[in-house]
A and B are shown apart, each in its own frame.
Chain A
Amino acid sequence: MNPSNPIVVSGYGVVSAIGVGKEQTLASLREHRSGIAPVLYLATVHRDMLVGEVKLSFDELMERVGVPSDAEAPQSRTALIGRLALREALQQAGLTTSDDYARTALISGTTVGGMDRTEIEASVTPDGQIVHYNYDCGTSTLDIARGFGQFAFVDTISTACSSAANAIGMAVELVRQGHFERVVAGGSEGLSRLHLNGFNTLMILDQQPCRPFDAQRNGINLGEGAAYLVIESEASALRRGVKPLAVLRGFGNACDAYHQTASSPDGEGAVLAMRRALDDAHLQPSDITYINCHGTGTPNNDLSELNALHRVFGDKLPPFSSTKGFTGHTTSASGSIEAAFCLLALHHHFLPINLNFQTPIPLSPSGGIEGGFDIPVVADVKFNLPPLRGNEGVLINSFAFGGNDSSLILSSYPEPQTPPQAASSQPSQTPQTPHSELRSRAPKEATPQTPQTPTRTVYLLAQTLLSPNVDPNFRDYLAPLESRRFDKLLKRTLCCSLETLRQYPDLVPEAIITATVWGSAVSAISFFHDMMRQGEAFLKPTLFMQSTHNTMSSLIAIQTHNHGYNNTHSQLSDSLPHALLDAWLQMQSGRVRSALVGIHDSIPAFDNRSYLLVTADALPPDCHPLAEFTTFSELSNLSNPQPPQTPRSELRSRAPKEATPQTPQTL
């Protein structure tokens, strides 16, 4: 955090099972009204399943969004609820004109994208062929954006249940480093049969209302929703005469690198994510006054997370809760939805309670936790949230498949009339500062959008290109037993990445960033086709757990025991440039000195590419960099069909590149 120009939230919008918009959401949270109920809208055979649906049908959503039902209309629940939340966020931040949007970047997290629409439209021909359009993640985000006009930049993060948190993390860095004046970031995910059945094959759906952190917890209720936060520098908000609502103080991400669907018993990834967020925010654990936990309600997550909390906070855990008893697990959108809940909590001085909590998880050394400390689950109204002092914050955890773990820290924005030290004695009744006063505090002239940190040179150390027509000998890289579940794309991804890493075996990349247009489409489509042909029964858990876009990034991390920053971008033909931008931002921030960046797709047949990038302070001795980049625009050339020329002896590519990547439209 740069204390002289903090990153602030200037608007936010939220849609979930407990309400459309902040007002309804706040009322539900304060009145302890859960939105979890038997299936109402999703066309599934699992009618008795408890889910957290947004309480509007597709047609009602169309009406709320205010679009005619024609070809230009958003195609999916993901897009519709995304538009509702985005509109609320932009309006609160005073961004209402096409000029405003043109100077705002949009980063959205999603994993199933427009799957709910794909399911409605798909059909089986008499000869058994399945016909469907696939609404990929990037298209789904463009579908949300289209309702507003042209944004300055559009990106989609797809790291399963931490997608929205990682979108916000990327937004913070883009603003800090002056790439955009402001970024609106969050996530949207509509409930689909694909992921309801997918989680069902993993046998982690609770048939009762979910009970996070309870000794008797027995799994997840799935939910849906969307939330977005407008993120900008304080100077930018004040210049526009907009009152900052809170300070986005820190972000941290790490890979648990343990298992594709389970958290490690000691919560290593979660510990690292929380510690990185605290470091980023320049805060101590004792400065955290509330934690909105990931708390899905599965036996595995909640015990692992509790272990991680204990490792970070010791015996003095701040009050914490999971709000998934209200909304269900809103998967890719959960990070921004729960950040929105925390913003409401900060403004209204209450703590969202952990619904359905009765009995604490018993502590025992065999569970990895020594007993003898309180587990302060917020289970009733006796907990309130006192106004935060300047050096205090609330923490939000979002964890995902593949061990992609992220934490965000929000702090109060000090009221202008009082110095930050005295803010705690000023309750919320402080009248809103008139915009004119705020204007007078703002810098007279717009500060130019230039990077605040000196540019670090980035070097390309190694690269591997794998032609779509050539398969390496997988056994050279992977043991048959460990790769038995990997589809061909995963095997090619791992071989391509491991080959790049083998060239500098002592160098452990501090970030693994993947670009993918379609992700593990073969697994996802196989699962979908099984569901179409045989109905919602006997589906294969292996296909589902491989279907998330971040399977590749996390498998590389698991295979190489890498706990570094881990992220996945899926934005059509911009996927690789955006992954490279992410690596550039991470390296310019100084937190990361090396990154493995790759693009991996199977449909249609793209090549697999992998790049090892380092900054000067991580250059191995006697190495011969293949290229060097002093600006991002130079680095982004790596995403061109022809990468920079390098001495042949240095380029250990397996085969020459043949096909030019192009954006696929249909499968």
Chain B
Amino acid sequence: MNELIETLKQQVIEALNLEDLTPADIDADAPLFGEGLGLDSIDALELIMILEKEYGIKLQSPAQGKEIFKSIRTMAEFIQANRTR
């Protein structure tokens, strides 16, 4: 799980072009949207693309992302339970 969290942090930094951040700067339990990293709806689409491309999980609607993308940890838990690759 910890390994997945670290990989995920790196993938999020790359996909969202958060060039000022290192994985160590991201708290796995901090909110990704709003108060925490301050991501928005377009970032959510990029996160959905990570799920699809890297883990073979296809979401049907962006609304499903709301629970999944609460934090890096919730995202990792969802991936572990649903990944097809």
- Between A and B, 6 residue pairs with Cβ closer than 8 Å are A202-B45, A203-B48, A481-B18, A484-B19, A539-B49, A540-B49
The residue that B38 contacts in the complex, of A203, A481, A537, A538, with Cβ under 8 A, is A481
B27-45 contact mask (Cβ, 8 Å, vs A): 1 or 0: 0000000000010111001
Known: A201-B49, A203-B62, A541-B49. A480 touches B41 (CB 8 A): no
A519-538 contact mask (Cβ, 8 Å, vs B): 1 or 0: 00000000000000000011
The residue that A260 contacts in the complex, of B15, B18, B19, B42, with Cβ under 8 A, is B42
The residue that B42 contacts in the complex, of A481, A538, A539, A542, with Cβ under 8 A, is A542
Q: How far is the CA of A545 from the CA of B42 in the complex (A)?
A: 9
Nearest-neighbor residue (CB-CB) of B37 within chain A: A481
The residue that A203 contacts in the complex, of B15, B19, B45, with Cβ under 8 A, is B45
- Is B20's CB within 8 Å of the partner chain A? yes
Give the contacts of B5-34 with A (CB-CB under 8 A): 15-20
Contacts of B46 in A (CB 8 A): 540-542
- Is B77's CB within 8 Å of the partner chain A? no
Q: How far is the CA of A481 from the CA of B38 in the complex (A)?
A: 8
- Is A435's CB within 8 Å of the partner chain B? no
B48-76 contact mask (Cβ, 8 Å, vs A): 1 or 0: 11001100000001100000000000000
Q: How far is the CA of A259 from the CA of B40 in the complex (A)?
A: 10
Q: How far is the CA of A480 from the CA of B49 in the complex (A)?
A: 22
A249-270 contact mask (Cβ, 8 Å, vs B): 1 or 0: 0000000000111100000000
Report yes or no: A480 in contact with B20, Cβ–Cβ below 8 A: yes
Determine the interface band of chain B, counting residues with CB < 8 A from chain A.
10 to 19
Report yes or no: B18 in contact with A484, Cβ–Cβ below 8 A: yes
Known: A481-B38, A484-B16. A538 touches B45 (CB 8 A): no
Contacts of B40 in A (CB 8 A): 259
Nearest-neighbor residue (CB-CB) of A486 within chain B: B17
Contacts of A542 in B (CB 8 A): 17, 42, 45-46
A594-622 contact mask (Cβ, 8 Å, vs B): 1 or 0: 00000000000000000000000000000
Beyond A481-B38, A537-B52, 4 additional pairs, beta carbon < 8 A: A201-B45, A261-B41, A480-B19, A538-B52
Q: How far is the CA of A292 from the CA of B52 in the complex (A)?
A: 38
Report yes or no: A203 in contact with B61, Cβ–Cβ below 8 A: yes
Determine the interface band of chain A, counting residues with CB < 8 A from chain B.
10 to 19
- Is A561's CB within 8 Å of the partner chain B? no
Q: How far is the CA of A481 from the CA of B16 in the complex (A)?
A: 10
Give the contacts of A288-344 with B (CB-CB under 8 A): none
Report yes or no: B49 in contact with A538, Cβ–Cβ below 8 A: yes
Report yes or no: A262 in contact with B38, Cβ–Cβ below 8 A: no
Contacts of A481 in B (CB 8 A): 18, 38
A189-228 contact mask (Cβ, 8 Å, vs B): 1 or 0: 0000000000001110000000000000000000000000
Report yes or no: A484 in contact with B17, Cβ–Cβ below 8 A: yes
Contacts of B19 in A (CB 8 A): 480, 484
Nearest-neighbor residue (CB-CB) of B17 within chain A: A484
The residue that A538 contacts in the complex, of B16, B18, B53, B62, with Cβ under 8 A, is B53
Nearest-neighbor residue (CB-CB) of A545 within chain B: B42
- Is A485's CB within 8 Å of the partner chain B? yes
Contacts of A485 in B (CB 8 A): 16-17, 42
Report yes or no: A541 in contact with B42, Cβ–Cβ below 8 A: yes
Q: How far is the CA of A201 from the CA of B50 in the complex (A)?
A: 12
Contacts of B41 in A (CB 8 A): 259, 261-262
Q: How far is the CA of A202 from the CA of B52 in the complex (A)?
A: 14
A483-502 contact mask (Cβ, 8 Å, vs B): 1 or 0: 01100000000000000000
Q: How far is the CA of A259 from the CA of B41 in the complex (A)?
A: 10
In the complex, what's the smallest C-beta–C-beta distance from B65 to chain A, in angstroms? 10
Contacts of A540 in B (CB 8 A): 15, 46, 49
Q: How far is the CA of A580 from the CA of B20 in the complex (A)?
A: 38
In the complex, what's the smallest C-beta–C-beta distance from A164 to chain B, in angstroms? 26
Q: How far is the CA of A261 from the CA of B40 in the complex (A)?
A: 12
Q: How far is the CA of A201 from the CA of B45 in the complex (A)?
A: 7
Q: How far is the CA of A260 from the CA of B17 in the complex (A)?
A: 17
Contacts of B16 in A (CB 8 A): 484-485
A536-555 contact mask (Cβ, 8 Å, vs B): 1 or 0: 01111110010000000000
Contacts of B17 in A (CB 8 A): 484-485, 542
In the complex, what's the smallest C-beta–C-beta distance from A541 to chain B, in angstroms? 4
Q: How far is the CA of A343 from the CA of B20 in the complex (A)?
A: 54
Q: How far is the CA of A260 from the CA of B43 in the complex (A)?
A: 12
In the complex, what's the smallest C-beta–C-beta distance from B5 to chain A, in angstroms? 21
In the complex, what's the smallest C-beta–C-beta distance from B59 to chain A, in angstroms? 8
Contacts of A262 in B (CB 8 A): 41
Q: How far is the CA of A624 from the CA of B68 in the complex (A)?
A: 56
Top 8 nearest A-B pairs (CB, nearest first) are A541-B45, A538-B53, A484-B17, A480-B20, A203-B62, A481-B38, A484-B18, A541-B42
Contacts of B18 in A (CB 8 A): 481, 484
Q: How far is the CA of A538 from the CA of B42 in the complex (A)?
A: 15
In the complex, what's the smallest C-beta–C-beta distance from B16 to chain A, in angstroms? 6
In the complex, what's the smallest C-beta–C-beta distance from A346 to chain B, in angstroms? 39
Contacts of A537 in B (CB 8 A): 52
Known: A203-B61, A484-B17. A261 touches B49 (CB 8 A): no
Contacts of B15 in A (CB 8 A): 540
Q: How far is the CA of A262 from the CA of B40 in the complex (A)?
A: 11
Nearest-neighbor residue (CB-CB) of A300 within chain B: B41
In the complex, what's the smallest C-beta–C-beta distance from B18 to chain A, in angstroms? 6
Q: How far is the CA of A537 from the CA of B52 in the complex (A)?
A: 9
Q: How far is the CA of A545 from the CA of B43 in the complex (A)?
A: 12
In the complex, what's the smallest C-beta–C-beta distance from A256 to chain B, in angstroms? 15
In the complex, what's the smallest C-beta–C-beta distance from A305 to chain B, in angstroms? 18
Nearest-neighbor residue (CB-CB) of A539 within chain B: B49
Q: How far is the CA of A201 from the CA of B62 in the complex (A)?
A: 11
Q: How far is the CA of A143 from the CA of B79 in the complex (A)?
A: 50
Q: How far is the CA of A438 from the CA of B49 in the complex (A)?
A: 62
Contacts of B38 in A (CB 8 A): 481
Q: How far is the CA of A545 from the CA of B46 in the complex (A)?
A: 12
In the complex, what's the smallest C-beta–C-beta distance from A505 to chain B, in angstroms? 26
In the complex, what's the smallest C-beta–C-beta distance from B12 to chain A, in angstroms? 12
Report yes or no: A261 in contact with B48, Cβ–Cβ below 8 A: no
Q: How far is the CA of A484 from the CA of B45 in the complex (A)?
A: 15
In the complex, what's the smallest C-beta–C-beta distance from A468 to chain B, in angstroms? 22
In the complex, what's the smallest C-beta–C-beta distance from A259 to chain B, in angstroms? 8
Nearest-neighbor residue (CB-CB) of A485 within chain B: B17
Most chain B beta carbons < 10 A, residue from A259, A260, A485? A485
Nearest-neighbor residue (CB-CB) of A484 within chain B: B17
